[in-house]
Amino acid sequence: MELGVRKFVAGAMALAFALVVGLAIATPAAAAKVKSIQSEAKWISFDAAAKTVTVKIRKTGKAPKDKDLKLRKGKEATFTIREGSVLTRTTVKINGLGGALTDIPVGKTVNIYWQPDQKMPGQRWAKMIDVILSEEDLMQRSEDN
């Protein structure tokens, strides 16, 4: 009986090892295809009907392969937003906590992590929008709580 348990444990460990190695190999390949570009911008607007956000670029980040999607410092840029599962939707973080696009006031500095939109070629998809709060904003929040 003890020999059967040992064989079972050895087989389970071999299977677990194979799964870990398989995931380790598959994960970098998938991640390489979906690298996001980080850009810093000033928030202008959110258009819920068009499912877009508009910002004024402060720092462009790395240039995308598609030259038509290149951002220009001091110019407005539009990004599509998506709803859906955690992996496919646009997420919003306000000082590290979850938020909504409607929570972002005009003029706030944001970091946009974006990619060329595979569903709509020629457009940019905002994968994540991270609102950067000023020290004044942080002080106001602490006074409100």
Q: Which of these CATH numbers, 3.30.43.10, 3.40.50.300, 2.40.50.140, 1.20.1340.10, describes 36-137?
A: 2.40.50.140
- The upper half-sphere exposure of residue 89, i.e. CA atoms within 13 Å in the direction of its Cβ, equals 9
Model pTM score: 0.71
* pLDDT at residue 111 is higher than 60: yes
Residue 51 gets which letter from DSSP? T
pLDDT at residue 138 in the model: 74
List Cα–Cα distances, 5 to 11, 119, 129, in angstroms.
Answer: 10, 51, 51
Gap between the Cα atoms of 46 and 52, Å rounded: 6
Query: Cβ(132)–Cβ(113) under 8 Å?
Result: no
Q: pLDDT by residue (tens digit) across 71-89? A: 999 999 999 999 988 788 9
Q: Which of 130, 129, 125 is nearest to 80 (CA)?
A: 125
Domain ranges of the chain: 1-33, 36-137
